[in-house]
Structures are given as structure tokens and as C-alpha cells.
């Protein structure tokens, strides 16, 4: 349907970051429109019912939601009252090993310490010490950076260097994650476990890159807080959608933005592929990838050539040497995985997130190198989960759903992106076979169906995840913090008046954090002169008070 509609603000894309932004501004009294290309809102909150068997629900995107009920936006937007309910699996991460032993990372650090102590008392004590000693630093520096617009690097450095805690953080962060893991621990399996968790979360580029060190310490404290919404990730998207609707926002699903309407160097609205004009009297915000925002929606003719060059140089996923690209195995099974190593510690069977197939740090690094080279790893090392153990609504009649993720290149060295079509089935089978080595009951008679999701599928579903990159842009030093997506369009503002950015392509990047939406809301509200009814933290103030 064509027509012209007028709002205070129009937001392009309906992923969780756009919805968080819409929530704050709608609650501020703004008349907001959200334009989403697919029929469903939520973007990477994408639970889908299997077309192969009724009642089995799979996550095509996010599975592990980290500590969401404690984020500022979850509380400010009162999302708990819109029907979303989080389940917190206590055995948060597990690593079964081929020699029959295992390691678990538990919600209770004392249980983790006991698990590590069976390998090395020294490592167990180090874990315990790091868990407690750096909690304040993880909260005051690491977490505070995410939930605030980024500061210019020189200012950040100077502010942190004023305190003892800040200097300790800067020192630790000069090293690479790889170096810190080797510095802290002796146990080979524990080092591999840490490097795997670091990489699969796509914190930063390869763990061998300098400047990634503190992530390992932060993970010790923050890494046991993965959760899942009852009924699937989509329930969080639903809660956000219902929340913004309750505050008067208008939603346009199955509606694709084609062009940002620019008059006199000012963004005044959005034109859609079906001919609608959605006018934004006060602002337009784009939550989609920077490439699409600038080259397609704004258009080169409205930009300086230097900015166009920067956009064209913006790197995604593996071509930027970061690891936000995954091949997924999905399956419906009669019985949940029963691990061989349960004889060592039965808690492994209740692990939410299992690290399968990496047992040495060298294996993790070799896999990442293979992926960069364009080769799907021959020996599988994967993240594996059976969410229906914790949430029985995911599968009918006591059956289960499985999810496995393997790092993958988008374009194969042999066959390019199209090559995945040929590998989809065989590679999913290979992952299942690898999982079976650790959980022998995943034999053919237990499998109701299985299928693979390629990085190309990811890009086709959500076009902003270019090259299958779930971070919507490589997390590499030149594209992080104040430089995300690039310094010319930092801090959610653009050179076009009234045009703002949010989404994973802005600080602090991808994953279900809501931080890009939360931070953009603060910037836009301040620019529009709205009263801030919430209380965003200010790193300048927090860091000035550190010892």
C-alpha cells in the first residue's frame, strides 16, 4: 500500500537494537515508526518452528543471551511485564574431553573451582582469585564501556591512567587473550576452553591479537551468565514489540526501506520498496549495516567521497579476520545428549553450552586459521547445545532440539559462497558425527531429522548480516569503540543532519546486548532536547571515582 505517513522519528530495521531505541523514544512521548523488511520483528531473535516435524523450535540466530534481565534497558522498559521470562541454566558451559574427563563452568564459582581442581589445584585457585579480584574492574571499566557512547581513545586512555585500577586494566589489556590465558593457567584443556569461549563469542579478532587480554579476565566473571528466554529468543522480540506498541509506536513489518529521503542535507523520511513515504519530522535512524545505510539508502551523491571510500573499505566477518560467521547444525532428537564423560562428572549432561572437539589451544588457533583461509575445518570443533533440557516448550513429548555451531568462512576457497549448497547436508552430518564421539547416544536411530544452516542462509534471511557476519562488521581494532563503524560517523551521529545510526554496526557491536540501541537513544534524546527519564551511566564520572 502506498501513501505518506508522518511521525516524529522513523527507525529502519526491526532488530532488538532498533526496538530498544524505539522503546526509549516512544516512552519519551515521540511518535515512532519501525520499518522491518521481514514479516517478523526481532532480527536475530529468530526462533523458527521446524518445517520437518511439528512442535520443534530452532534458533536461527541468537541462542545464548547474556544476563539480559540485568541490563539497564530490560529494567527501564519493564520488559518482564510483557511476557518474556528468562531461564538461567546453572551448568553454564561444559567441555567433555576424549579421555573421558570434563570441565564445567557453573553459575556458582565454587562448583567451577572444584571442577578445575580435579585438573590443577593451582589453576582452580587462580580461577577463584580472578573471579573475585576483578569483578569490580569488569563492571566499572569493561561493562561501563558498553553501555555508554564511546569516548575518543586518547581521552579514554587518559581517564583510565589516572587511577590504579584503570592503569592495571590498561596493562592487562596490552597483552593478547592468548598470552593472558597462558599466563594464568597451566591446564591445556582449560586454556583451550577459555580460547574457544573467547572466540565463539566473537569478542574481538583472533585471540592472538594484542589488546584483547582483559576479555579473558572479564569472561571469568561474566562468562557464566548465559540464559535463554522461555519459548525461544523470539519471545524477547515479542516483548519489545508489544512494549513499543503499548507506547504508541507504529510497526511496518514486511516493509523494506529503499531510500532515506534527504532534503537540504537533512534526513526527513524513508521511502520503502512498496512506495510508502514515512516522514520523520525530527529524525531518521538506521539500525542496518553501514554499507546499506550509506551506499544504498543515503546514496553516494549525498556523501563526501572520503566517507564513501571508508564505507567501501568497511570489513565484514572472515574477510576482516574476525569470527562472527557460523555454520549451524539443527536437529530434532528423541533423547538428549548423554556424554561419555558423565562418569567423570555427571554435571556435563546438564551443560547449556558445550565446547566439543577443541582440547588444546593450538587446535582453536588452527581452526581459526583454516577458516580465514576459506576452508571449513576438516576436524570439527563446535559449540553445542540442547536448549530443550531447560525449556520443554522447544520440542514436543519430551523430545529435544539440538544446535551446533562451527566457525566458517562465508566464501569457500573451493567454490565460493555458492559452494555451501553442496556442503550443507554433508557438513551438518560431519558435525553430528563429531558430537556423537562425545555423546554416543546421538546415533542415527535417535535422530528424527537434521539440517544445516549456512552463512549464506544467514545473509539471505537478514541482509544486514553481510557475509554472514552476525556482528554486522568485523570486530577489529579499526572498527571498534569510537571507530565503529568508522571515526567519521562515530557516536551514532552522521554528517547528514537528523540521520542517526544504531545496531550491531555501531559500538559495541553485535550480540544480544541492546547496547547500541540504548546508547543511541541517549544521543538522540539529548540532541532533540528531550528529558532523559532514565539514568544512563557516564564512564567519565565512574572512572573519575576509581582508586
Ligand X SMILES: Cc1cc2nc3c(=O)[nH]c(=O)nc-3n(C[C@H](O)[C@H](O)[C@H](O)COP(=O)(O)OP(=O)(O)OC[C@H]3O[C@@H](n4cnc5c(N)ncnc54)[C@H](O)[C@@H]3O)c2cc1C
When the beta carbons of 65 and 276 are compared against ligand X, the nearer one is 65
The residues in 260-299 that bind ligand X, with binding defined as CB under 6 A, are 287-288, 292
In whole angstroms, how close is the CB of 4 to ligand X at the nearest point? 18
Instruction: Give me the half-sphere count of Cα atoms (radius 13 Å) on the Cβ side of residue 372.
Output: 13
Single out the residue of 17, 212, 494, 519 in contact with ligand X (rule: CB under 6 A). Answer: 17
Alpha-carbon span 60 to 328, nearest angstrom:
8
To the nearest 10 degrees (0 to 180), the angle between helices 16-27 and 234-246 is 20
Q: Is residue 528 involved in binding ligand X (CB under 6 A)?
A: no
Q: Which cell goes with 413? A: 576457497
In whole angstroms, how close is the CB of 387 to ligand X at the nearest point? 10
Q: Is residue 63 involved in binding ligand X (CB under 6 A)?
A: yes
When the beta carbons of 177 and 512 are compared against ligand X, the nearer one is 512
When the beta carbons of 169 and 518 are compared against ligand X, the nearer one is 518
In whole angstroms, how close is the CB of 452 to ligand X at the nearest point? 12
Q: Kindly write out the interface string for residues 486-525 of this chain, putting x where it contacts ligand X by CB under 6 A and - elsewhere.
A: -----------------xx-----xxx-------------
Provide the terminal-to-terminal Cα distance of the chain, rounded to the nearest Å: 60
Q: What's 323-389 look like in SS3? A: CCCEEEEEEEECCCCCCHHHHCCHHHHHCCEEEECCCCHHHHHHHHHHHHCCCCCCCCCEEEECHHH
Q: Is residue 150 involved in binding ligand X (CB under 6 A)?
A: no
3-state secondary structure of 4: strand
Give the strands of the sheet with 91-96, arranged side by side.
102-106, 91-96, 353-356, 382-385, 400-407, 326-333, 447-453
Q: Is residue 377 involved in binding ligand X (CB under 6 A)?
A: no
**Strands, E, within 52-116: which ranges?**
57-59, 65-66, 86-87, 91-96, 102-106
Q: Is 142 left (phi over 0), alpha (psi -120 to 50) or beta?
A: alpha
When the beta carbons of 233 and 333 are compared against ligand X, the nearer one is 233
When the beta carbons of 35 and 148 are compared against ligand X, the nearer one is 35
C-alpha radius of gyration, the chain, whole number: 23
**Which 8-state DSSP code applies to residue 108?**
S
Strand-pairing partners, residue 273, are: none
Q: Is residue 16 involved in binding ligand X (CB under 6 A)?
A: yes
Q: Is residue 220 involved in binding ligand X (CB under 6 A)?
A: no
In whole angstroms, how close is the CB of 37 to ligand X at the nearest point? 3
Q: Which cell goes with 45? A: 531473535
Q: Is residue 326 involved in binding ligand X (CB under 6 A)?
A: yes
Single out the residue of 11, 12, 284, 395 in contact with ligand X (rule: CB under 6 A). Answer: 12
When the beta carbons of 88 and 128 are compared against ligand X, the nearer one is 88
When the beta carbons of 374 and 516 are compared against ligand X, the nearer one is 516
Single out the residue of 458, 491, 519, 522 in contact with ligand X (rule: CB under 6 A). Answer: 458
* Count of residues in contact with ligand X, rule CB under 6 A: 37
- Could you tell me where the DSSP H helices lie in 14-79? 16-27, 72-76
Distance of CA 336 to the CA centre of its chain: 26
When the beta carbons of 231 and 510 are compared against ligand X, the nearer one is 510
Choose among 399, 404, 408, 292: nearest CA to 356. 404
Q: Kindly write out the interface string for residues 36-55 of this chain, putting x where it contacts ligand X by CB under 6 A and - elsewhere.
A: xxx----xx-----------
Single out the residue of 470, 486, 518, 543 in contact with ligand X (rule: CB under 6 A). Answer: 470
Q: Which cell goes with 341? A: 564423560
Q: Which stretch binds ligand X (CB under 6 A): 63-71, 93-101, 212-220, 333-341?
A: 63-71
Q: Is residue 463 involved in binding ligand X (CB under 6 A)?
A: yes
When the beta carbons of 62 and 176 are compared against ligand X, the nearer one is 62
Q: Which residues bind ligand X (CB under 6 A)?
A: 12-18, 35-38, 43-44, 61-65, 256-257, 287-288, 292, 326, 328, 458, 462-465, 470-471, 503-504, 510-512
Amino acid at each position: 500500500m502506498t501513501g505518506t505517513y508522518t511521525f516524529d522519528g522513523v527507525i529502519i530495521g526491526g532488530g532488538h537494537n532498533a526496538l530498544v531505541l524505539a522503546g526509549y523514544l516512544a516512552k519519551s512521548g515521540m511518535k515512532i515508526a519501525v520499518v522491518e523488511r521481514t514479516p517478523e520483528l526481532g532480527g536475530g531473535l529468530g526462533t523458527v518452528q521446524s518445517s520437518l516435524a511439528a512442535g520443534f523450535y530452532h534458533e536461527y540466530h541468537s541462542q545464548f543471551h547474556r544476563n539480559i534481565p540485568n541490563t539497564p534497558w530490560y529494567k527501564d522498559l519493564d520488559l518482564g511485564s510483557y511476557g518474556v521470562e528468562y531461564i538461567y541454566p546453572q551448568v553454564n558451559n561444559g567441555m567433555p574431553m576424549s579421555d573421558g574427563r570434563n570441565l564445567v563452568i557453573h553459575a556458582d564459582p565454587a562448583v567451577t573451582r572444584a571442577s578445575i581442581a580435579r585438573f590443577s589445584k593451582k589453576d582452580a585457585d587462580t580461577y577463584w582469585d580472578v573471579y573475585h579480584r576483578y569483578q569490580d574492574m569488569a563492571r566499572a571499566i569493561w561493562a561501563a564501556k558498553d553501555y555508554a557512547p564511546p569516548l575518543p581513545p586518547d581521552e579514554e586512555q587518559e581517564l583510565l591512567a589516572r587511577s590504579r585500577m584503570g592503569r592495571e586494566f590498561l596493562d592487562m589489556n596490552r597483552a593478547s587473550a592468548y598470552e593472558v590465558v597462558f599466563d594464568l593457567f597451566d591446564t591445556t584443556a582449560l586454556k583451550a576452553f577459555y580460547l574457544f569461549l573467547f572466540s565463539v563469542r566473537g569478542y574481538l579478532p583472533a585471540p592472538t591479537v594484542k589488546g584483547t587480554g582483559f576479555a579473558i579476565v572479564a569472561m571469568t566473571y561474566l562468562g557464566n551468565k548465559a540464559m535463554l528466554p522461555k519459548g525461544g529468543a523470539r519471545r524477547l522480540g515479542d516483548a519489545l514489540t508489544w512494549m513499543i506498541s503499548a507506547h504508541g509506536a507504529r510497526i511496518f513489518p514486511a516493509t523494506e526501506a529503499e531510500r532515506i529521503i534527504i532534503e537540504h542535507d537533512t534526513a526527513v523520511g524513508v521511502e520503502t520498496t512498496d512506495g510508502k513515504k514515512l516522514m520523520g519530522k525530527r529524525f531518521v535512524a538506521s539500525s542496518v549495516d553501514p554499507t546499506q545505510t550509506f551506499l544504498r539508502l543515503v546514496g553516494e551523491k549525498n556523501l563526501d567521497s572520503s566517507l564513501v571510500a571508508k564505507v567501501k573499505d568497511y570489513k565484514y566477518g572472515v574477510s576482516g579476520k574476525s569470527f562472527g560467521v557460523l555454520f549451524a547444525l539443527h536437529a530434532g532428537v528423541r533423547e538428549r545428549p548423554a556424554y561419555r564423560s558423565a562418569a567423570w562428572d555427571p554435571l556435563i549432561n546438564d551443560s547449556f553450552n558445550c565446547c566439543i572437539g577443541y582440547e588444546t589451544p593450538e587446535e582453536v588457533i588452527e581452526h581459526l586459521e583454516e577458516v580465514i583461509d576459506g576452508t571449513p575445518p576438516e576436524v570439527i570443533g563446535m559449540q553445542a547445545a540442547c536448549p530443550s533440557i531447560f525449556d520443554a516448550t522447544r520440542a514436543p513429548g519430551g523430545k529435544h532440539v539440538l544446535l551446533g555451531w562451527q566457525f566458517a568462512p562465508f566464501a569457500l576457497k573451493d567454490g565460493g559462497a555458492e559452494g555451501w549448497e553442496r556442503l550443507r547436508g554433508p557438513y551438518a552430518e560431519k558435525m553430528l558425527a563429531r558430537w556423537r564421539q562425545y555423546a554416543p547416544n546421538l546415533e542415527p536411530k535417535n535422530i528424527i531429522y537434521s539440517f544445516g544452516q549456512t552463512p549464506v542462509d544467514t545473509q539471505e534471511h537478514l541482509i544486514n548480516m553481510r557475509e554472514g557476519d552476525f556482528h554486522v562488521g568485523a570486530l577489529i581494532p579499526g572498527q571498534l569503540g569510537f571507530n565503529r563503524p568508522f571515526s567519521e560517523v562515530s557516536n551514532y551521529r552522521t554528517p547528514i543532519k537528523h540521520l542517526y545510526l544504531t545496531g550491531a554496526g555501531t559500538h559495541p557491536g553485535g550480540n544480544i546486548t541492546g547496547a547500541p540501541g540504548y546508547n543511541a537513544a541517549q544521543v538522540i534524546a539529548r540532541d532533540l532536547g528531550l528529558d532523559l527519564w532514565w539514568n544512563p551511566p557516564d564512564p567519565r564520572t565512574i572512572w573519575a571515582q576509581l582508586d
